[in-house]
Chain A
Amino acid sequence: MEQVRFEIIKNERLTESVFEMKLQGSMQDLPEPGQFVNIALDGHFLRRPISVCHAEPGLLTLIYKVVGSGTEQMASFTRGQQLDVLCGLGHGYDLSKAADRPLLIGGGVGVPPLYYLCEKLLEAGKDVTVILGFNSKSEIFYEKEFKALGAQVLVTTVDGSYGIRGFVTDAMKDLDYSFFYTCGPMPMLKAVYRCTNTSGEFSFEERMGCGFGACMGCSCKTVSGTKRICREGPVLTKEEIIWQTQE
């Protein structure tokens, strides 16, 4: 964990409500796939937690959806603006569990952290398949980027306007995979949980106070005891999840 001052070098719209922000700044430690950052915004008391979509020395890519006044403010930021960011927060995905043929399942704004994970898994020589689920064609982002990495990409849309009609679980059915990693809205995570017998890891969202383990605002019950989504999470293993507390 570290506090880093970044400069915005890009902040562009990907779809109607989803934006891609590129930040330049010096990090002592690169965030790991599944970790998040927490951004201070003038006029908002609490920081905004955003998952890491890509990181390399001196550069961070974030993708966020405008869902409230904080992310609306972020969308208005322009190149050159400075941001106070807490970096490298949370416990990310465990890449060592991937085995040979990992499956990545992302829904909507849950897609971004899987991009960084996909990069790392491909670097490690894995045969990666990615399912990207959206409501409709107009909401799709990063399909090309995942393909450019060299992953096999399946896109689902609920209204059938692009790719496979239906939910990510409709694309999962016939696939053969060694392990899965997922991130997306709660109904999707539950559906993924129910439709597979393979082991996997889930990334969860929760309203956070601090984002670094101090306030206990985002705690959840798991088979392995109480965990803080911001600290021991956001990634939990399939085996430790107790669903009712994450509703």
Chain B
Amino acid sequence: MGIASLDLYSQAIVLFAALALFTSFIMLAQARMMPLIFTFAWQGLLLAVVTVLVALVSNHPHLYISAALTFALKVVVIPWLLYRLSVRLGMQYDAEAIAHPTLLLLGGVALVIFSYHVAQSIVHLSGLATRNTIAVSIAIELLGMLLMCARKSAVAQVIGFMSMESGIFFAAVVSTYGMPLIVELGVAFDILVASILFGVFFFHLRDSFGSLDVGQFNRLSEANQSMPLREAAGEPSAGDPA
């Protein structure tokens, strides 16, 4: 149905969903750490607002809980954690060299088209006025995945991971008015634990590699496995009790 036939609340839902998609694109191209984290927080805020609006329109009070969960995790806890860690690790002004930013953005556009195609086959099941946003939620998820694959900094990968999670949460909100409460709580718990573990890992990465650039990971790649000269180069082999 065309957007003009929706009421203003539903229009606002669509608008905020589009803005959340936009933040996904911004994150894709944002090389600097601090703006990346803040953009992620903005996305969380937009999705929380959408959830509240859906709750208002559809009269599903339990969606307020998931909006609160989204707000607490995606706007407060995780950005704050990432911010603190970046400051502690002295990398708040770091910028990452993104290879082929234009290609990346075009890939993102291709993913949006793909998610539209995917969503086309399933939206007819939904009776919701805002069902067109299902495609946007899939796109946010896939863009998060693209972010994880394309970027080499650990922080960007974490943000991609969390953004995927946001997209899925959003999909649940707009397609089915959210998942059962126990599942949502469980997922939120998992995300919380994951974000803490990521924090622990940042320190490990820094201690072992001197930076959070996971692009230099190559010790375990299959290409290096066939090099029998590893000990000849004086490098300790994996699991060697040095």
Binding partners A and B: no
